[in-house]
Chain A
Amino acid sequence: MEAGTITQADRPAPRQGPALGGRVRRVVGDALGTWRGKVGLALTLIVAAIAFIGPFVGPSSLALEGAPFEAPGGAAGTLGGDALGRDVLARVLDGGWRILLIAGAATILAIIFGTAAGVVSAYRGGKVDSLIMRSVDVLLGIPQLVFVLMLLSVIGAKTWLVILSVGLSQAPQVARVLRAAAQDVSERDYVKAVAAWGVPPRTVIRRHVVPSLISPLMVESALRLSFSIILVAGLAFLGLGTQPPTADWGLMINENRVGIAANPWGVLAPSILLAALAVGTNMFSDAVARANLAGGRTGDPSLDLFVTASADPKDAQPLEEVPK
């Protein structure tokens, strides 16, 4: 919503290059100056390190080592055995990198689609604007997880389809936020001047509008990544993400919950890692959003809450903007 616009309202017209990098560095620096930012980034990096280094250090995540749901310390390893007697520790070490890669790809997709829709909508205005924003309203009328499940239901759980549908399901929210920010930028004199010069709209958007949106883009990317991770892990848990026998934290929780009494680690270990990852990314995105907001005038505290409570931005819109 207005998060980005507030920051930028007080800033001089951005130049290409150093100015852009400087702003990113300032916001990230401010975010890391808070305990939220530090703890969030630390948690995220620790889990990411486990996820990406894990596959190279652990034993095979597929070999049948011991008895099903064997207690920790036996033939199946330090954390015991899973539903088929495979090493829980090895599967935990191998089960995270796919979630991170898939969620990352989906986030990039959501940011690209959402920014394109939101910025074009704001810059063009009029009929294009109403058409795009009405479509966004329609897509937001279906619960996010349900939307993804529906897209996956008939074709099945292919990795590309998971990325595409998670990305698509997040794009409308990105479009809403970026439209609000881009509306303000499009009104600025330097953008109008370039447009009056006869520069084609596509170039104006790409060279002059989008670079000014770097702060809201950062906030959105961090927030969408944390939502994507939860969504991707949830899909795997429901059996619609990574397919067995591949190791995956979401899938492991589902596979091993039958034996939760015999060996709770099969469920507990992936749950703790997922929880740490979700809390870490969420805290970091929260810190970035606050740093971004504090860069400009901190106006309405309820606005601040809307940003940081990661609530649906459309509900923060004043009622006067209710579509006709």
Chain B
Amino acid sequence: MEAGQISPGLEPKASGRGGFSRALAERPITAMIVRRSLLGLLTIVMIAIIVYAATTVIPGDAATAILGNTATPGRVEKLRAELGLDEPVLTRFWNWATDAIQLDFGNSLSGGVAQTQVGQTAESTPVTALVGERIGNSVVLVAAAAIISTILGLITGVYAAYRRDGFFDTVGSVISLVASALPEFVVAIFCVLLFATSVFTWFPAISVLAPGASILSEPEKLVLPVLALVIVVTPYMFRMTRGAMIEALDSDYVEFARMKGASTTQIAFRHALPNALPPIIQVVGLNLLFLAGGIVLVEAIFTFPGIGLLLVEAINGRDVPTIQYIVILLAVFYVALNIVTDVLVLLVTPRRRYPR
């Protein structure tokens, strides 16, 4: 009844702001998605400028850096022309950016330079093709680690919260404290020592594949990289689930459900868990962000054919276009994931949708 009385009063004020913004004000989630997407786009543009500046402008002369100090002036000149380094910085950036928008990030230098050195014609692969060949493997790795750690963290976290200060809770908390602090490459090394070389020899120590092959064709090579990532990432999930569940279990509505005679499982999954969801979603988002960066070291340890290893190879080979493309790709993933996480949190917490 009250709502009906208020809305006509608000009507003239709202219509004064124009149709579009009124429509947005009435749909806070859509408004937020639009606002965050525009901001995200701006962020990506800024990141592209930083990436371009850091990889091409600052060092002065990329050609000398790529070929080394021993290169003959002729070869440096040739590469400079090939890279377009004889043009002014802004022109170069403009050309690069307009190409990049059309998903043309140039050709990989690693193949090209190697061939010019032996005096053959430069024939190099587009960066996008090079990455496209590998990105599927990285997606599989990240997805597998994320799914397993989320399920594992949820189950152990809910259980630890239920048996608070019990044996499982205490041991779990200590293990999670230690595991979350370990660097991922140290965890990976311990996994190799334990399961591949020294104690057991169950899984291959490295995950080398034939070029272009998918990791799914040899799933046993996926086990240790996924295990290493799961060990590093699950503790956050465990701690956050446990904390959020404890808070929810202490609340009045759970107390009421208990008095009403609801069963333990019903209380845990019907009453407490939905209210503990927002921080849990945020941790899943955070973990995915961490995994996007964490794959670099883990892929390097296992020689896993993904984009993380490609990035390391590109850096060692001074392959600037590949570096630029992978960094921007990861940044887009970061920005998009942040938006998705925030929208999901908003969806599960109705009270936050409307500003007070």
Q: Does A271 contact B (CB under 8 A)?
A: yes
- Give the interface segment out of A21-29, A64-72, A87-95, A145-153: A145-153
Residues of B within 8 A of A318 (CB): 352
Residues of B within 8 A of A139 (CB): 50
A154's partner among B32, B35, B65 (CB-CB below 8 A) is B65
B318–A154 CB distance below 8 A: yes
Q: Interface digits, B246-274 against A, CB 8 Å rule (1 contact, 0 not)?
A: 11000000000000000000000000000
Q: Does B327 contact A (CB under 8 A)?
A: yes
- The interface residues of chain B, by DSSP majority, are classed as helix
B55–A142 CB distance below 8 A: no
Q: Does B289 contact A (CB under 8 A)?
A: yes
A324–B205 CB distance below 8 A: no
| Contact (A150, B54) CB under 8 Å given A145-B297, A238-B300, A271-B190 | yes
| Contact (A260, B330) CB under 8 Å given A274-B186, A275-B183, A305-B279 | no
Q: Does B116 contact A (CB under 8 A)?
A: no
Residues of B within 8 A of A309 (CB): 180, 236, 239-240, 283
Task: State in angstroms the CA–CA spacing of A264 and B190 once bound together.
Answer: 10
| Contact (A319, B185) CB under 8 Å given A264-B193, A309-B240 | no
Q: Does A3 contact B (CB under 8 A)?
A: no
- The interface residues of chain A, by DSSP majority, are classed as helix
Task: State in angstroms the CA–CA spacing of A315 and B186 once bound together.
Answer: 27
B residues 171-204 touching A (CB-CB < 8 Å): 177-178, 180-183, 185-186, 189-190, 192-193, 197-198
Q: Interface digits, B102-143 against A, CB 8 Å rule (1 contact, 0 not)?
A: 000000000000000000000000000000000000000000
A279's partner among B58, B181, B297, B342 (CB-CB below 8 A) is B181
A145–B286 CB distance below 8 A: no
Q: Does A261 contact B (CB under 8 A)?
A: yes
Residues of A within 8 A of B301 (CB): 257
B327–A154 CB distance below 8 A: no
B244–A154 CB distance below 8 A: no
| Contact (A146, B279) CB under 8 Å given A154-B318, A233-B183, A311-B286 | no
B181–A282 CB distance below 8 A: yes
B44 closest partner in A (C-beta): A141
B238 closest partner in A (C-beta): A309
CB distance from A51 to the nearest CB of B (A): 16
Q: Does A178 contact B (CB under 8 A)?
A: no
B247–A234 CB distance below 8 A: no
| Contact (A240, B293) CB under 8 Å given A278-B181, A315-B285 | no
Task: State in angstroms the CA–CA spacing of A260 and B334 once bound together.
Answer: 35
B292–A143 CB distance below 8 A: yes
A280 closest partner in B (C-beta): B181
A282's partner among B35, B180, B239, B312 (CB-CB below 8 A) is B180
Residues of A within 8 A of B334 (CB): 140-143
Q: Does A268 contact B (CB under 8 A)?
A: yes
CB distance from A320 to the nearest CB of B (A): 6
A261–B197 CB distance below 8 A: yes
Q: Does B214 contact A (CB under 8 A)?
A: no
Task: State in angstroms the CA–CA spacing of A144 and B334 once bound together.
Answer: 11
B35–A322 CB distance below 8 A: yes
Task: State in angstroms the CA–CA spacing of A302 and B318 once bound together.
Answer: 44
Residues of B within 8 A of A6 (CB): none
Task: State in angstroms the CA–CA spacing of A264 and B32 once bound together.
Answer: 53
A231 closest partner in B (C-beta): B183
Closest 7 CB pairs of A and B: A143-B293, A282-B181, A305-B243, A230-B183, A154-B59, A138-B46, A279-B181
Q: List 14 A-B contacts (CB under 8 A).
A: A137-B43, A141-B47, A149-B312, A150-B54, A151-B54, A253-B189, A257-B192, A260-B197, A268-B193, A283-B181, A301-B246, A305-B279, A308-B239, A319-B352
Given pairs A150-B327, A233-B183, A302-B244, 19 additional interface contacts (CB within 8 A): A138-B50, A139-B50, A143-B296, A146-B293, A150-B55, A150-B323, A154-B55, A154-B62, A155-B65, A233-B185, A237-B297, A260-B192, A264-B193, A267-B193, A278-B186, A279-B178, A283-B181, A304-B243, A308-B239
